[in-house]
Amino acid sequence: MITGKARDRVASVEVEPGGALRDLRIEEAALRLGPRELSRRILGLVDRAAAQASRRLDLDDAESLRLGTSAELAEAVEETTPETWRVQ
């Protein structure tokens, strides 16, 4: 199954393409954030993980169509992605 994962210091998520949540783990430190900040962080992690899962899905679809391997496509994308677009 294709999934995406994202984490920060207070939470981690695993989602399917499109953002369907498969796993959510919240550290004890998250309780000090307050509900609004915690929800903002979790939603941000879900967005990041969903984008990752969607990229993986696209690469796997391309491979099944014999458009190249996932590794080849990922490398080509990396080579053409400007540094200013990269998520740190």
Per-residue confidence (pLDDT) for residue 2, from 0 to 100: 86
Sequence-ordered list of residues with C-beta below 8 angstroms from that of 30, at least 6 positions apart, any chain: 10, 11, 38, 41
Per-residue confidence (pLDDT) for residue 67, from 0 to 100: 47
Per-residue confidence (pLDDT) for residue 9, from 0 to 100: 92
Hey, what amino acid is at 50?
A
pLDDT along the chain (88 residues), means of 10: 91 89 94 92 92 78 51 61 61
Asked whether the CA dihedral 63, 68, 71, 73 is positive or negative, the reply is: negative
What's the residue count for the chain? 88
User: Strands (DSSP E) along 1-88, which ranges?
Assistant: 4-7, 11-15, 21-26
Per-residue confidence (pLDDT) for residue 72, from 0 to 100: 60
Per-residue confidence (pLDDT) for residue 11, from 0 to 100: 95
User: 37 with 29: CB under 8 angstroms?
Assistant: no
Per-residue confidence (pLDDT) for residue 23, from 0 to 100: 95
